Structure 1
Amino acid sequence: MSDDWTATRPEGSWASSAARRRNMQAIRSRDTKPERLIRQLVHANGLRYRVATRPLPDLRRTADLVFRPAKVAVFIDGCYWHGCPEHYVSPRTNPGYWSDKVARNMARDRDTDKHLQEAGWLVMRFWEHQDSDTCALTIVNTVRDRRRALSG
């Protein structure tokens, strides 16, 4: 490593440069454009939900939309961070770190699904590139079906 690189790296940071660190910090973990659009469409169809909350209080993971009475947890996964089979491309900078990070995210997603399913929840996952109208309609129909099944 050159001295120039270490001089630009923020103290105690994994980021390769101050600019990279700023870029990574600007990436939203909630309220992304696909999430907001799907929420708007679901809301317009008359459904109410919790946003970015834990479906299970003891599980330190949040779902993007939570329908508690119907026990439906919805996740809108980013293609890069969750390893979309269609769109994930390993980065050129520090590929070992980032590929491992994405692999850990994917393993955590599967673990989250398992815990929620064991507790009687239905887990719905969508990719950020999927059509928002289709995702919203799927969510609306599924939640309504679950509500009818649980009440009757």
Structure 2
Amino acid sequence: MSFTHFNEQGRAKMVDITDKSDTLRTAIALSSVEVSKELYETIINQGVAKGDVLAVSQVAGIMAAKKTADIIPMCHPLALKGVDISFEWEVKQDYCLLHIQVEVKTKGSTGVEMEALTSASVCALTVYDMCKAFDKGMVIGPTYLKQKTGGKSGDFIRQGTTHTER
């Protein structure tokens, strides 16, 4: 397999997608944030001084999906048709995991994997930012693509699980 992001001089370029057909494209990315039980209680009881952690994280994730091309150099700017972010807590014996799922959709000539991954990452980073005064020991990740649909390369569904999937 050859890399498509290099020109004849071996220098970086944005791939030309003008000949690709517009199709429905979706991507689902996952991330997680491991927090202490004390911080979990503080978050769910709206006790974080900066505000509603999950609401702010959700807005940040949507904004990040829309701005992905501004921070990932070879990404094409896309007109996103939808961004849906959901959160689910998993309470363990010694800690808690915040599961973050982001689904991004568009109808276009290139996929939305990077938008979903960027969104999931920024959601997790926003949780960290809002809670770091309380606990700097939070752990982010893993962040990964769970599935994608559409496009020339076809559909992808991640096989196997990580600790963030049940």
> Shorter-normalised TM-score: what interval?
0.3 to 0.5
**TM-score, normalising length: structure 1:** 0.33
* Larger helix fraction of residues: 1
Compare CA radii of gyration and give the structure with the larger one.
1
* Larger strand fraction of residues: 2
